[in-house]
Amino acid sequence: MQRSAGLRAAAADIRLAFFDIDGTLLDSRGQIHPQLYSAIAHLKSKGIKTAIASGRPYFAARFLVDELGISDAGMFYTGAHLFDPRSQQTLLDVPLPSADALAVVQAAQRLDLYAEVYTPTGFYLAQHTEISRVHAAHLRVNPELSDLTSVVMHNNVSKLLVGVNRVAQGDKISLLEQQFPQLIFARAYLAAYPDWQFASVIAGAATKQRAFDFLLNHHQLAAHQVIAFGDAESDMDFLQMAGIGVAMGNANENVKAVADWVTKSADEAGVAYALEQLCLA
C-alpha cells in the first residue's frame, strides 16, 4: 500500500473514477451519505469522468446517475453489460448461455440456495424472504415472483444471484461454483447481514479484464489515469487494474490487501474522504 503523498502525486493524472455501489457509494442502510454529493460534484468540476462499476443492472443504478451525476460509460452486471448512460447505448452485452443459466438455477435449488434471476429489464424471485425484501429495498426495484426455471427458459439471462447463510448452511456457493468452472462467480455481501455471502454468476467471457480494457479504450484513457473504489471480492480486479485502487473501510481484509489505499467505511462517507485526500486536495 502506497503512502498518501505518493498517491496524491499519482492522482494528478486521474481522469476517470469507477465506483462500486453497495458498501461503497451506499452505506449499510442502502443510503447515499450527504457528503458524497459535493465530493462527486467537485470531482466532476475538475473534468474527471465518473462511472459505475457494479454487479447491479443499470435499471437498479439509474438513481445514482440521476442523484449524483455519475453518468459516464461504465460496467453493470459485474462485467456482463457495459452501458453509456449519456447516450443510452449498450456498448457490450455478454448474456449467460441458456443451458448454463438453467443448470445453475436447478443446482442452486437442489442446494437450497437463495436465488435471483436477472434479465435486461428486471429481476425475478421464486418467493419473498427477509433477504429479498432488504435486497429489493437497496436496489430500489421490486422483483417479480415467478418460477425461476420458466424464467431462464423463456428469457435472455444477464446474471444470476445466489446467496447462502454460511453460518447456518456452510460454504455452499463454493460447492456450486465447482460444478460450473466455465462461469464466473463474483462474491459480495450485504452489510446488514454479515453471515450471508452472495455470488453474481455471469458468463465466462464477461471477465473484468475484458470490461476494464473495453472501457479504457472507449474513454481513450490509460490504466494509470483511473481510480477505482470498492468493498467486495467482486471489486478486486478493478482495484488492481486501476492506477489507484481504493478499498472501503468496511471491506474484507483480502480486498484491503490488494488496494493502494484504504479509506473510511461507507457509513463514514469513505468515498468522499478518499476523494478529498487524494484527488481534491
Per-residue pLDDT of the chain (281 residues; tens, 9 = 90+): 445 678 888 999 999 999 999 999 999 888 999 999 999 999 999 999 999 999 999 999 999 999 999 999 999 999 999 999 999 999 999 999 999 999 999 999 999 999 999 999 999 999 999 999 999 998 999 999 999 999 999 999 999 999 999 999 999 999 999 999 999 999 988 777 889 999 999 999 999 999 999 999 999 999 999 999 999 999 999 999 999 999 999 998 999 999 999 999 999 999 999 999 998 87
Cα 185–chain centre separation? 13
For the whole model, what pTM was predicted?
0.92
| Exposed / middle / buried, residue 86 (Cβ in 10 Å: 0-12, 13-18, 19+) | exposed
**pLDDT of the residue at 127:** 95
57 grid coordinates? 443492472
Q: Read off the CATH number of the domain in which 261 is found.
A: 3.40.50.1000
Q: What is the pLDDT of residue 216?
A: 98
Structural domain containing residue 39? 4-93+207-278
Residue where a domain terminates, one of 159, 182, 202: 202
Look at residues 202, 222, 237 and tell me which one is the last residue of a structural domain. Answer: 202
The confidence score (pLDDT) of residue 189 equals: 82
pLDDT of the residue at 6:
82
Count of domains for the chain: 2
Tell whether 193 and 212 lie within a shared domain.
no
pLDDT of residue 188: 86
**87 and 166 within one domain:** no
Q: What pLDDT score does 3 carry?
A: 56
Residues 181 and 230 in one domain: no
Final residue belonging to a domain, choices 150, 185, 202:
202
* β-sheet bridge partners, residue 116: 161
| Separation between Cα atoms, residue 215 and residue 218, nearest integer Å | 5
Looking only at the bridges linking them, the beta strands covering 49-53 and 16-19 are parallel
Q: Which residues of 1-29 are buried (b: 16+ CB within 10 A; e: fewer)?
A: eeeeeebeebbeebbbbbbbbbbbbbbbe
Exposed e or buried b per residue across 265-281, where buried means at least 16 C-beta atoms within 10 angstroms of its C-beta: bbbbbbbbbbbbbbbbe
Query: For the domain that residue 177 is a member of, what is the CATH number?
Result: 3.30.1240.10
Same domain, 69 and 126: no
